[in-house]
């Protein structure tokens, strides 16, 4: 699949992979700052952003999509930042295309199987009849009773696009919902990924638990972990300056 991407800067290629319901646009500010040190390529994973939609969705397919983009761009070896499900895609890439991946930063994601924590969001979004709305604010109000957290609603509503005066989901909402069980699965459970990897854990998040650290070290023997006690799951958005400093140091950017 030919993924949508944005590229800026020059030098060592750095690919950034977003999380569920996200897109390359979420990383625009940080990508601009990192582009002073590298060629930064922000990607929309399949069924997200401006990339094509497909009823087929799993981590192997998403990793192959990114590998295809690397081949199309003639990238011999890349660094990767992956957040949430983008982190699992990055892990698969490092395992299956080891000679093509130099270093990885995994943002608040473990390779383990996760329990369902998004079905209520899918149900709320799929229940909306977008033909009844003309503005995002109206959709926000309609979602408020089922998704109480305004920040989460605002994040989700970034996926709304206005097309010929009509609101539409840019994401493949039904395709993501149908394949959501695939996104909960563990990855690399029979692999040993030996590239240098930095795991960033949000201290206020439960995506990486204390007991996961031993398993992560077994699967990724050259990994290290940094815990940001004051951050949740969206470390890069919550403490961007500290995130940027940490990433630049790990990638040996001047």
Annotated active-site positions, please?
Answer: 84, 233
Tokens of 82: 């992956």
Closest to 35 (Cα-Cα) out of 19, 17, 11, 18? 11
Q: Are 44 and 18 in contact (CB under 8 A)?
A: yes
Cα 12 from chain centroid (whole Å): 20
Closest to 170 (Cα-Cα) out of 53, 64, 249? 53
Number of Cβ within 10 Å of residue 20's Cβ equals 18
Dist CA 78 CA 74 (whole Å):
11
Among positive and negative, which fits the CA dihedral 233, 16, 243, 30?
negative
Dist CA 42 CA 5 (whole Å):
6
């Amino acid at each position: 699949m030919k993924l949508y991407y944005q590229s800026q800067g020059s030098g060592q290629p750095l690919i950034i992979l977003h999380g569920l319901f996200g897109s390359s646009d979420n990383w625009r500010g940080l990508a601009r700052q990192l582009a002073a040190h590298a060629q930064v390529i922000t990607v929309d994973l399949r069924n997200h952003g401006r990339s094509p939609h497909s009823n087929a969705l799993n981590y192997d397919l998403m990793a192959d999509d990114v590998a295809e983009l690397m081949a199309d761009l003639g990238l011999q070896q890349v660094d990767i930042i992956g957040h949430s499900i983008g982190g699992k895609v990055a892990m698969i890439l490092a395992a299956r295309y080891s000679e093509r991946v130099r270093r990885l930063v995994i943002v608040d994601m473990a390779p383990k199987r996760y329990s369902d924590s998004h079905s209520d969001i899918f149900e709320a979004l799929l229940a909306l009849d977008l033909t009844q709305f003309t503005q995002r604010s109206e959709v926000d109000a309609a979602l408020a009773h089922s998704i109480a957290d305004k920040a989460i609603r605002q994040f989700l509503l970034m996926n709304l696009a206005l097309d010929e005066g009509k609101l539409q989901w840019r994401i493949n909402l039904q395709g993501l919902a149908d394949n959501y069980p695939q996104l909960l699965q563990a990855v690399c459970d029979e692999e040993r990924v030996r590239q240098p990897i930095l795991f960033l854990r949000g201290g206020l998040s439960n995506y990486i638990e204390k007991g996961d650290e031993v398993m992560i070290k077994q699967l990724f023997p050259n990994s290290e972990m940094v815990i940001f006690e004051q951050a949740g799951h969206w470390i890069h958005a919550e403490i961007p300056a500290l995130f940027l400093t940490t990433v630049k140091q790990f990638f040996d950017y001047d």
